[in-house]
Structures are given as C-alpha cells and as structure tokens.
Amino acid sequence: MLHVAENKVPRSRYPVIDVHTHFAWLARSEGPNAADGRLKFLATPEELLAVMDRKNIQTMVNLTGGYGAGMEEAIQKYQAAHPKRFVIFTEPQWHRLNDPNYSQFQADEIERARKAGARGLKVTKALGLYVREGITTGPLVKIDDRRLDPMWEVCGALKIPVSIHISDPEAFFLPIDRFNERFEELNNHPDWSFHGKDFPSNRELQEARNRVYARHPKTHFNTLHVGNDAEDLPSVSEWMDRFPNMSVELGARIGELGRQPRAARKFFEKYQDRIMFGTDAVPPPEGLATPQQIFGDELYEIYYRFLETQDEYFDYAPAPVPPQGRWRIYGLGLPDKILRKVYHDNAARMLGMAR
Ligand SMILES: [Zn+2]
C-alpha cells in the first residue's frame, strides 16, 4: 500500500561501459575448465547491439573469454568486428595446473592472449572453491599459491587488469535453513552453498586474496561483485584503503547496496574513482536461471534507476523477484560528476580506452 514515486530511466545519463558480462563462456564453465577451450556464444553481436543502442551502452566486456582458439574466435567475432563496442578477456587454464612448468606456461599464455587482442584476465571463484591439487580431487588450491605469482605479475607488466571473483555472499557459507537470508536462492541452487565440507570460510578466502593484492602492487585487481562482500561495506572500505591497486564493480549486488542506501552513497562518494558499472548480465535462456542477470532492457533500467533516482522501495531485479534476498531497494540519486565516472570514465581508464 506504499505510495511512492516511480521514475523510469530508459537510458543512462552518460554512455555506459558494462565491465562485467557473459555473452560467451567456456562450453563447460563451472569448476576447472574444459581442456578443449571451446566457447559457447549466447547471443550474436547484432542481438547485443540492439539492446546496447537502446540503453546507451557503449561497450560490453565479456569476462569469460576462455583461452586459445576459443578466445581468438570470440575476439574476431565481437571485438575485432565491432571495436569500442565489445571487449574480450582471457582466463587461466586450471586443467594444466599439474603440467611441469605451469607457472611460466600460464604467464606466457597471457602474453600470447594479449598479443591476440585480449584486454584483461578473468579469474572466477573456481580459484579457492573448485580447483584442487589433483584438478578435481585432493585439497583445494590456495588463492595465494606461489605457482600463480607469474600470472599476476605478467598482468601488471602488460598493464592489463585482473577481474577477480573470490568467495561469494556471506549467506552462502551458512546453513541453508530458515535463518539464512538467501534461503530461497540457495534452495533453488543448493550447489551454490559453500557451507561445511572442506570449504574455507568467507573470511579466509578474502584474506588469501588480500595477500595476493599486497604481493603484486603493480597489478590492477578489479574485484567483482563489490569485493564480494557488499553486505559488509566497512570491510570493503578497509581493503580499498589498504590496496590502491584494488577497484570494484557492481555486478549482481545492487540488491545489497540498495538496502543500505545511506552507507552505499557514502561509499560511492569516497571511492568515486574506483567503482565501475557492471551487471553480470547473461543473455537468455541461460540468464533466466538467475533472474538478477537476465540481459535485456529491464535489467539496465533497474541499475539506472538505482544509481540515478531517489526512488524508494523497488525491486532490484527483473521478475520473478526477489531472486537473492527477500527485500527491496532504494535509489542513490548520485550526482552527475560521480555518475559519469562510474558509468564510463573509471572503466575507460582501466581498459586503456581513449576518451
Ligand atoms: Zn560474472
């Protein structure tokens, strides 16, 4: 029965770079990746461009670009065919972890990928939660494993960013019961739970990631999903203060930011040069499995409304809602100066795009 203003925002106030999307991914993208590196393309460039033009999206970054021939195909099909509109990142080859000389091989592969056109490295939560010493068996590989040092270093040397997803929402590490604030989501996706078994705690994963940031100060780490602790902005702020080489993006976390609009607004004011627009968008039908990620007009309109208006108590995702936690959100009403940086300028700088 709440009567409040509803302001539709069909186009963003400034051109958008969406730094976190998945319009292509490895045919087997969960867990340690498939050896053949084949990619699945979830939408054609034309299908994506139609939405992008309507919604004022200048560029979409596909993080899950794989490696080798699959990655090169993605670069040709999207990035080379439509420069400025699409950017492709590369990924590590976890299935080779036990090859002799893996450390150097992985660093060299990133250099080759860069020469082929890849514009950054994506590291999924497979690191820390899926990849094991025996690839799929044995103890989990630590995020700060020394074998990965050359991989982080080469990204700094090549001046390409690492987009890194470490850990997951705090609720995913707690029992799936009536006290869990994401009960419905975990009940729909029980495999997203990292409670029990031999999984490290959320905090242990974050601390291992922080040791990597400290060890590689010349490498830029864009920490996805607001550092994957948007529920705890005091901690994310502390990390941002400690690591100048850390930035964040918003993908699939406006539900968290929008339930604490006053703290979130302060966070945007303080870190306005290090926050990037991202959605984690996935084209349908795959995107339908996670309603907070369905690529399309509606998803972008919700993000724009959250950032630009002071609307109160609205849904943070397309229907059926609520996909994450059972609450609604409040708009931040950010000023133009911050909007321009978050929508575009911070990402353009990270990606080395000319203004
Ligand atoms: Zn993602």
Does residue 279 sit within a domain? yes
How many alpha carbons lie under 13 Å from residue 220 in its C-beta half-sphere?
A: 19
Residue 28 above 70 pLDDT? Answer: no
Q: How confident is the model at residue 29 (pLDDT cuts 50, 70, 90)?
A: low
Tens-digit pLDDT profile for residues 266-302: 999 999 999 999 999 999 999 988 889 999 999 999 9
Q: Considering the chain, what is the average pLDDT of its residues?
A: 95
By CB atoms closer than 10 A (0-12, 13-18, 19+), residue 105 is middle
Do the beta carbons of residue 88 and residue 130 sit within 8 Å? no
Considering only CA atoms, which of 341, 162, 168, 351 is closest in space to residue 252?
168
180 C-alpha to ligand 1 centroid (Å): 23
Indicate whether 31 pLDDT > 70: no
Encode pLDDT of 190-247 as tens digits: 999 999 999 999 999 999 999 999 999 999 999 999 999 999 999 999 999 999 999 9
Task: Give the distance (Å) from ligand 1 centre to CA of residue 280.
Answer: 5
* pLDDT (0 to 100) of residue 34: 66
56-80 b/e (C-beta count within 10 Å ≥ 16 → b): bbbbbbbbbbbbbebbbbbbebbbe
pTM above 0.95, yes or no: yes
- Is position 1 within any domain? no
Give me ligand 1 centre to Cα 173, in Å.
19
- Counting every residue, how long is the chain? 355
In-domain check, residue 151: yes
pLDDT at 30 over 70: no
Is the distance from CB of 293 to CB of 280 less than 8 angstroms?
Answer: yes
Domain that holds residue 280: 16-350
> Could you give the number of structural domains in the chain?
1
The answer as to whether 8 is a domain residue is no
What pLDDT was estimated at residue 289? 86
Find how far residue 75's CA is from the centre of its chain: 19
Residue 220: CATH number of its domain: 3.20.20.140
User: How much distance in Å is there from the Cα of 26 to the middle of ligand 1?
Assistant: 13
Q: How far is the CA of 62 from the centre of ligand 1 (A)?
A: 9
| 2 is a domain residue | no
Residue 355 pLDDT more than 90? no
Question: Does residue 5 form part of some domain?
Answer: no
- Please give the distance, rounded to the nearest whole angstrom, from the Cα atom of residue 340 to the centre of ligand 1: 23
Bridge partner list, 18:
60
> What span, in angstroms and rounded, lies between the C-alpha atoms of 56 and 9?
11
Residue 58 maps to a domain: yes
pLDDT, greater one: 81 or 324: 81
Residue 9 lies in a domain: no
